[in-house]
Amino acid sequence: MRHHLERHHARGRMRGRRLGRLLEHGDLRYVVLALLAEQPRHGYELIKELEERTGGAYRPSAGVIYPTLAMLEDEGLVRPAGGEVGRKLYEPTDAGKAEVEQNRNHVDAVFARMAEVAESSESSRPRIARAMANLGMALQNRLSQRPITALEIDRIVSILDDTASAIEKS
């Protein structure tokens, strides 16, 4: 289980080349510990923070974050803060803080990769959002005009399917 959790990764594009794995084997545990060392957080807050730090390129699932937190808690590296009932607010133990500091160079390198992904992702998002809005408006305008025939619907569906296929292959 531990190996599976640590292998979870995201892929992205950066300056025209494949970034490869954003999180390598074992990175998630250090990233979670480092984020908790910054401030105590709930699992959901960790998910949102990772998404934000990667510009939306990586959003770990609850099925990855919560087992990682449980594993770190079992290892004595994190604990629930303030004995909260329900949603747990996690904080690192002294051993967890020491582990982050012992691996500071590695943690900083992972955060630097995340920042690069976020930068490249954020620069393309407005253009893609604009293009998607244009497509939506074009479809809405076309569908609101005179009655549309089955042949015209087939043509539009074919164009959309071809476009989706081309995007997947890009």
Q: Are residues 80 and 28 in the same domain?
A: yes
Contacts of 125 (CB under 8 A, 6+ apart): 55, 56
- Per-residue pLDDT, 151: 93
User: Is residue 14 pLDDT above 50, yes or no?
Assistant: no
Q: Are residues 134 and 116 in the same domain?
A: no
Q: Are residues 102 and 40 in the same domain?
A: yes
Instruction: Provide the percentage of residues in the chain whose pLDDT is more than 70.
Output: 80
Q: Which of 94, 109, 124 is the last residue of a domain?
A: 124
CA distance 103 to 107: 6
CA distance 162 to 96: 50
Higher pLDDT pick, 18 / 92: 92
DSSP 30-86: HHHHHHHHHS-EEHHHHHHHHHHHTTTS----HHHHHHHHHHHHHTTSEEESTT-SS
Mean pLDDT of the chain: 80
Structurally, how many domains does the chain consist of? 2
CB 23 within 8 A of CB 110: yes
At position 86, the amino acid (one-letter code) is G
Six-digit token string for 124: 């393309």
Q: Are residues 159 and 93 in the same domain?
A: no
Q: Are residues 165 and 114 in the same domain?
A: no
| Torsion over CA: 64, 70, 71, 72 (sign) | positive
Enclosing domain of residue 157: 125-169
pLDDT tens-digit readout, 50-98: 988 888 778 888 899 999 999 999 999 999 887 655 678 999 999 999 9
Q: Are residues 164 and 114 in the same domain?
A: no
- Per-residue pLDDT, 37: 94
User: Is residue 1 pLDDT above 50, yes or no?
Assistant: no
Q: What is the mean pLDDT of residues 44-49?
A: 92
